[in-house]
Each structure stands twice: as C-alpha cells, then as structure tokens.
Amino acid sequence: MKRLLAVGFGGMVGSLLRAGVYAIVPSTMALWTVNVFGSLLIGWIAARFSSKSAEFRLFLSTGLIGSFTTFSAFSADWFRLLETSFWQGTVYAVSMTAASIMAAASGLAIGRRRGVQ
C-alpha cells in the first residue's frame, strides 16, 4: 500500500510540474523540455538514490518522473507529423528518442560522478 501511495503522490506532483512547464514554455518546445529533462533526471535519480527505500525511489521515478514525462503526447505529435511528412515525422521521432537516451545516460553519469548518497 505504501508503494502505491508513493507512486500516486509522485504522479500528482509530476503532472502538476508538467502542466507548469506547458504554461511557461512555448508549445513547440514544451514536450521536448519535459521529455529530455525528465530523461536526464531519471538517470540522475537512478544513480543518486539507489540505496534509498523502494517507496522513495518509486515516488521519484515511477510517480514523479513517469508523470512529468509523456510518451503519449510524443506519440500523438509523431503521428501528426507523419501525416504531413514522412521525413519530418521520422526526424522528429529519431531526434527526440536519441536526445532522451543521451540525456538519461548523461544524468546517470552525473549522478555517479558526484557519489551515491
């Protein structure tokens, strides 16, 4: 039960943060901002908090970051672009995926460099 509550509370915070980013960042960059920054954070969290309780890690990773980032919006944008231009949709999908993977790897490296808490 504690784990479900941790994910639920993290999800509430993450979705509110995403809504805040969408209110501040221009619409064309908001999705990139949440997905790439969220990927950086998930890598950092994985490195920095591996020794913390399962509930704390679930709050941060599955709850907060899982609801902050949004694969469904990425998929919707991708299909919208594919309808307009196959190449534009392909470049969008490949670049967003590559940027997110590089950000996660960078976050992991940064978290490991600074030591585990």
pLDDT value at position 7?
Answer: 94
Asked whether residue 68 carries a pLDDT value surpassing 90, the answer given is yes
Dihedral-angle region of residue 15 (phi above 0 means left; psi in -120 to 50 means alpha; beta otherwise)? alpha
H/E segment holding residue 95: helix 86-113
Average pLDDT over residues 58-79: 91
Does 69 show up as a binding residue in the annotation?
A: yes
Q: In the structure encoding, which two tokens stand for residue 23, read together?
A: 């209110």
For the CA atoms of 66, 71, 73, 78, the dihedral, rounded to the nearest 10 degrees, stands at: 160
Average pLDDT over residues 90-117: 87
- Specify the amino acid at residue 91: V
Mean pLDDT is highest, among 11-20, 21-30, 75-84, for 11-20
pLDDT value at position 114?
Answer: 62
Asked whether residue 116 carries a pLDDT value surpassing 60, the answer given is no
Asked whether residue 115 carries a pLDDT value surpassing 70, the answer given is no
DSSP state of 25: S
State the residue range of the domain holding 75. Answer: 2-113
* Overall number of domains in the chain: 1
Does 84 show up as a binding residue in the annotation?
A: no
